[in-house]
Homo-oligomer: A and B are copies of this chain.
Amino acid sequence: MDQHGQRDTLHIPAERDLTVYVDKRELVTLMTLGAHPEWLVLGYLLNQRLVKSVDEIESITVDWDVGAASVKTRQGIDRIEERTAKRVVTTGCGQGSVFGNLMDEIDQIRLPEEAELRQSVLYDIVNAIRLKESTYKSAGSVHACALFRGSELLLFVEDVGRHNAVDTIAGWMALQQALGAGAAAGGAAGRVFYTTGRLTSEMVIKSAQMGVPVVVSRSGITEMGLEVARKVGLCAVGRATNKRFLCYSHPQRLVLDAMPVEAPTGAGEPRALTA
């Protein structure tokens, strides 16, 4: 019922629960739109650092009738009990969960120095997303993530949670690389990761873990997100809508080849902010 008392039928997104079992041991239940559950589970395991490579996994079998994803590893996951015991509740929703100390790992990550993003390509990306969002347009209440190679959209994923969307992309990327398609296409260095969600530390870490040196968001950044981005050399671009954006870190990666013609905003002028 709307503000005029009128009743209408609307679309809303439907999340399903998918319980992940690793070698028959229950690990976690994910709530997902479920478009690509196998990539999601693979990306989840990789991003949580429970597996290091696709090779460690023999199979992932999803059965929606019982809402279960069964992961079979080749050798088991070393010390899985211990490694999933520590829970850090993350910023994104305030209470996301990551296992162990992902933050410890970022010390080992350095993104390729030469990677850059042309402003014209950034505008192509923002426009491609605008044209693409399908569940969002019809039902709202979902987040989108996408992976680009230059202006070319490689994969677009919508999910109820922004972490499911990025994990799905991570799973797809890892599978492509395992199949040799990643190397053929120049690897992760030329890639740009787009998310509608905020650039919190976990989102920045996940981008860095995938080796993607540029992340673009419609939303803003938090202090820890910025700190991680600076540390790993990630170019974090936020508030990207139409021709506007804010580059929070590593602006040297941005090539300003398409500056908009309207007058620049005065330095002290307040900016429109959206969460």
Q: Contact residues of A with B, CB < 8 Å? A: 1-8, 10, 12-15, 17, 26, 28-32, 86-98, 119, 136-143, 159-165, 167, 196-198, 200-201, 219-224, 226, 239, 243-248, 251, 254, 256, 259-260, 264-265, 267, 271, 273-275
Contact = CB atoms under 8 A, between A and B. Distances in A.
Contact of A220 (B140, B198, B265, B274): B140
A20 to B, nearest CB: 9
Contact of A97 (B4, B97, B138, B254): B97
B256 A5 contact: yes
12 contacts: A2-B264, A8-B267, A12-B221, A15-B223, A15-B224, A31-B88, A31-B89, A31-B90, A89-B96, A90-B93, A90-B95, A94-B162
A231 to B, nearest CB: 16
A140 B274 contact: yes
A161 B119 contact: no
A244 B8 CA distance: 14
Contact of A91 (B3, B15, B90, B221): B15
Contact of A95 (B2, B4, B119, B161): B161
